[in-house]
Amino acid sequence: MHFVDTHTHMYDEQFGGESADAVLRAIQAGVSKMIFPDIDRASRNRMFALAAEFPGKVFPCLGLHPTSIGPGWEQEMEEIEEMAGKTGIKAVGETGMDCYWSREFVREQEDAFERQIRLACSLGLPVIIHSRDATDLIFKVLDRCRALSPRGVFHAFSGSRETFERLSGYGDWYVGIGGVITYKKASIAETIRHIPLDRILLETDSPYLTPAPHRGERNESGYIPFIAAKIAEQKDISVEEVARVTTENAERLFNI
């Protein structure tokens, strides 16, 4: 079996000098490809450096995370736009909106999100969307960009069946399912029964949202099989089928 982790930050400083070892552990666990979403300029060089160590295994992206939007964000956005066509990235993101931590720059988040969608569409790339307490705002921006036919993934999806069906009306969109599905009483464990397997991507969001039985530890891409096993259990199918279809989904969306 082969898996793809479509959202992992193993270049994060929490890994210290262990990032390369963590990538190797993931490969040994059957995670043959990993997508590295970007956050901001503070960690971007680490991301590209780690990706360069594992060509054909690790694929970097470019984007500006909503919680990194603040004074001067336009300048960093210009840097991203200048780099995007020159770096062989596989997606724009992660971008989106986050109203959980603060609403101070919510209008700026909205502007940055739309700008990144338009950048992705101009390059023919998918978008990796971060959405936290911001579902209606996310759809508001998608409505404005509908004519561009954006495509991509709702990362760390924990929405309802109705939210998934609403998203499906926007075209070629997937949902990223991570460690939360293994948590007791997580609503996504029930919702996943109603989401077609050909719309699902696997992700860890490492070093965060570690799946059971490792919850409480630092997350890493090698834990993808635990997530796949839970999806298989909830959908009453084999892990092999989950691996095959979600890998095909990821390879098609990200062109990897």
Q: How large a percentage of the chain has pLDDT more than 90?
A: 98
Average pLDDT of every residue of the chain: 97
CATH of domain 69-254: 3.20.20.140
> The sheet that has 92-98: what strands, in order across it?
92-98, 127-132, 152-154, 173-177, 200-202
For residues 37 and 7, the answer to whether their CB atoms sit within 8 Å is yes
Lowest-confidence segment of 50-54, 100-104, 201-205 by average pLDDT = 100-104
- pLDDT tens per residue across span 211-220: 999 999 999 9
Give the pTM: 0.97
What residue ranges do the domains of the chain occupy? Answer: 69-254
Reference 117, options 89, 145, 84, 79; nearest CA is 145
Tell me the C-alpha to C-alpha distance, in Å, between residue 89 and each of 170, 244, 249. Answer: 23, 24, 18
Biggest CA–CA distance in the chain, Å, is 49
Closest Cα to residue 154, out of 93, 99, 220, 101?
Answer: 93
pLDDT in tens, 18-50: 999 999 999 999 999 999 999 999 999 999 999
